[in-house]
A and B are shown apart, each in its own frame.
Chain A
Amino acid sequence: AQSVTQPDIHITVSEGASLELRCNYSYGATPYLFWYVQSPGQGLQLLLKYFSGDTLVQGIKGFEAEFKRSQSSFNLRKPSVHWSDAAEYFCAVGAPNGNKLVFGAGTILRVKS
């Protein structure tokens, strides 16, 4: 069965500092991988996705993620965090047939000035 683990429930970083949010998945084949963000009072917004090809993918708002098959990981990174990045971040895995997504528990990012 597919599963996603986000080991960090809360992370606090200083504005301007770098960020890495961890995501590990369990899936029998090459999955489709996603990162979503939910800002307070908003819906889920897709940050980036990996289907195939280059393992380093660029997303919106200056985020990137790297797919590492050997580690079953898809960590999200940003070189310099802005206060507006404070939100909850979800990693998700989907099957290539385009059906359901399986989500991690989410990581709440707090940005301190």
Chain B
Amino acid sequence: EAGVTQFPSHSVIEKGQTVTLRCDPISGHDNLYWYRRVMGKEIKFLLHFVKESKQDESGMPNNRFLAERTGGTYSTLKVQPAELEDSGVYFCASSTQGYEQYFGPGTRLTVT
């Protein structure tokens, strides 16, 4: 069984540009989560999808971040326009009933 995959593994963009991160959850997992770890800080929750619906987006930092999960399969997280403080590692996780989350390898975003 394939695990959670994320693309790209690393992205370097300039301030003001747009970046889209993609997450493919484990097949059959209705729950999909996005987390972020800024350098030296804790891993912080961003949002939670159940199928295609946003269950909880309380962790989204501001309206420059847009997450979608069309069709309840893969998800994208767009940052537009990117700021320096958006740099960090973005993790995606998926689960069936939500108790045990399986994480992807993360996307390292560097905004210069």
Residues of A within 8 A of B (CB): 4, 32, 34, 36, 41-46, 49, 51, 90, 92, 94, 96-106
Contact = CB atoms under 8 A, between A and B. Distances in A.
B86 to A, nearest CB: 19
Contacts of A32: 99
The size class of the interface chain B forms with chain A is 20 to 34
Interface stretch (B12-20, B38-46, B62-70, B77-85): B38-46
B28 interface: no
B99 A98 contact: yes
28 contacts: A43-B4, A43-B91, A43-B104, A43-B106, A44-B43, A44-B91, A46-B101, A46-B102, A49-B99, A90-B43, A92-B43, A96-B99, A98-B31, A98-B95, A98-B99, A99-B48, A99-B55, A100-B33, A100-B56, A100-B59, A101-B33, A101-B43, A102-B45, A103-B35, A103-B42, A103-B43, A105-B41, A106-B43
